[in-house]
């Protein structure tokens, strides 16, 4: 059996310029994934390396692997489901979701 590795694309890495930040950023997060605004969304099925920041008590970084599951044109971007997150990132997301639920 031959195992092939899918290419992975880094999403929201440490931005090298303001222009790069404006063209690609996370706008919505849930327990299962994120929506990434992008002028050039990737096709569904693309595996991506995720690295983006959120504010919990301080600025924190969420890291892991996701898969594009939906492409949108209004607003332009893509829905990315989490496939694998660091345990620290999982805890951060749970903390964010718990805080969001208590504010509602």
Q: Give me the domain span that covers residue 27.
A: 8-103
Q: Is residue 53 in some structural domain?
A: yes
Domain-embedded: residue 2: no
On the question of a cis peptide bond just before residue 75, with omega within 30 degrees of 0, the verdict is: yes
The CATH code of the domain that includes 99 is: 2.40.10.220
E strands present in the chain = 8-11, 24-29, 33-38, 47-55, 59-73, 76-85
Tell me how far the alpha carbon of residue 11 is from its chain's centroid.
7
Mean pLDDT by 10 residues, the chain (104 residues): 44 46 69 89 90 84 92 91 96 86 68
> Within a domain: residue 1?
no
pLDDT of residue 104: 58
Position 3 in a domain: no
The reported pTM is 0.75
CA distance 38 to 23: 5
If one counts the domains in the chain, the total is 1
């Amino acid at each position: 059996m031959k195992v092939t590795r899918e290419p992975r694309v880094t999403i929201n890495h440490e931005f090298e310029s303001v222009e790069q930040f404006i063209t690609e950023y996370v706008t919505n997060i849930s327990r299962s994934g994120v929506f990434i605004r992008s002028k050039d969304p990737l096709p569904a099925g693309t595996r991506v390396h995720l690295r983006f920041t959120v504010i919990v008590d301080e600025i924190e970084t969420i890291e892991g692997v996701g898969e594009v599951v939906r492409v949108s044109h209004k607003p332009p971007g893509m829905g990315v489901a989490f496939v694998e997150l660091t345990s620290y990132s999982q805890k951060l997301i749970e903390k964010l979701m718990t805080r969001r639920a208590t504010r509602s």
